[in-house]
A = this chain, B = another copy of it.
């Protein structure tokens, strides 16, 4: 089942249900990304913010807060906070990865320069922290500042683990938590805390965001080796060509004999790739069953997310978040 064939799209259902709140989030984002003194800031930010994206992270905040009975207003601030943190990390990621395209448009580092991306990213981080101070909730501040540190640590870890065949599944998981899951889990956890949810509910919301983020990233890794380019917008083998040690490869390296190890060393560590290497890499992944094992991991994490959500009181939003966990893995199931 591809994205387009999906019968229902839970993120669209969430967007419709949360439309009023998300409008308020978008107003706040536009207001706070403005800068009277430095017009370069809203230019760069608007390029990225207006490009859209699903606004999944702010929706997670609103959904978590509202399913726990919160009527506002500070879930709006926290939703804008997580979107600012996300946008700031995208700006910095594109500098670090020397990316040319993001969401189908040229990246800010290409349209302006790396300097603007670094400094406007810093500005958005600072604005995020200003926003998160406003609700006056110290526990929320602690959750979000911890998430920011986990994100940055994950990014640095990825930098040093990249192309290092000693990278284990444990390290992979830390990188993925930093890249994706930390902000998902902070979004749902903070939503619960601002709503005054019980400790059990807050824990379930954290577990949901954490598992959903991990499933999300593993699916991404898997589709890079077996996806439909039309549906994913990525070419099969991009990660291999960029020498990324993603989960199917990490699993295959762990099972490699000497000859296979030499292959991975040459293609990933040393980056000396030749014609036919991608096909050979995929054959090795097939031989050791690591694409299938990776698929099972993604399904397990999605099931964990769904189970965490099932522990929360039944409601429309609770059902939609459960559906979202299914949807994330629908493309590989």
Q: Give the distance in Å from the alpha carbon of A136 to the alpha carbon of B139 in the complex.
A: 10
A160 at the interface (CB under 8 A from B): yes
Cβ–Cβ contact B126 & A151, under 8 A:
yes
Cβ–Cβ contact A149 & B120, under 8 A:
no
Contact pick for A146, options B130, B141, B171, CB 8 Å: B130
Contact pick for A145, options B120, B126, B174, CB 8 Å: B126
A166 to chain B, nearest CB (A): 13
A35 cross-chain contacts in B, Cβ below 8 A: 153, 156
A173 to chain B, nearest CB (A): 11
Which A residues between 131 and 146 are near B, CB-CB below 8 angstroms?
133, 136, 138, 141-142, 145-146
Task: Name the residue on B nearest A151 (C-beta).
Answer: B126
Cβ–Cβ contact A38 & B114, under 8 A:
no
User: How many of these chains are in the complex?
Assistant: 2
A176 at the interface (CB under 8 A from B): no
Interface residues on chain A, number (Cβ under 8 Å): 43
A126 cross-chain contacts in B, Cβ below 8 A: 145, 148-149, 151-152
A118 at the interface (CB under 8 A from B): yes
A37 at the interface (CB under 8 A from B): yes
Cβ–Cβ contact A156 & B123, under 8 A:
yes
Task: Name the residue on B nearest A156 (C-beta).
Answer: B38
Q: Taking chain A's interface residues, is the majority helix, strand, or loop, or is none over half, making it mixed?
A: helix
A129 cross-chain contacts in B, Cβ below 8 A: 129, 145, 148-149
Given contacts A129-B129, A153-B41, A174-B37, contact A119 B96 (CB under 8 A): yes
Q: Give the distance in Å from the alpha carbon of A145 to the alpha carbon of B92 in the complex.
A: 20
A280 at the interface (CB under 8 A from B): no
Cβ–Cβ contact A148 & B125, under 8 A:
yes
A130 cross-chain contacts in B, Cβ below 8 A: 142, 145-146, 148-149
Cβ–Cβ contact A38 & B157, under 8 A:
yes
Give the interface centre of A96, A122, A146 by most chain B CB atoms within 10 Å.
Answer: A122
Q: Give the distance in Å from the alpha carbon of A155 to the alpha carbon of B130 in the complex.
A: 18
Q: Give the distance in Å from the alpha carbon of A129 to the alpha carbon of B41 in the complex.
A: 22
Interface residues of A, Cβ cutoff 8 Å to B: 35, 37-41, 89, 92, 95-96, 114-116, 118-123, 125-127, 129-130, 133, 136, 138, 141-142, 145-146, 148-149, 151-153, 155-157, 159-160, 171, 174
10 shortest A-B CB distances, which residue pairs?
Answer: A123-B152, A126-B148, A126-B149, A129-B145, A38-B157, A38-B156, A122-B152, A96-B115, A130-B145, A119-B155
Can you list 29 pairs linking A and B with CB atoms under 8 Å apart?
A35-B153, A37-B153, A37-B157, A37-B171, A38-B156, A38-B160, A39-B160, A40-B156, A40-B159, A92-B118, A95-B118, A96-B114, A96-B115, A118-B118, A119-B156, A122-B155, A123-B149, A123-B155, A125-B125, A125-B148, A126-B145, A126-B149, A126-B152, A130-B148, A130-B149, A133-B141, A133-B142, A136-B138, A141-B141
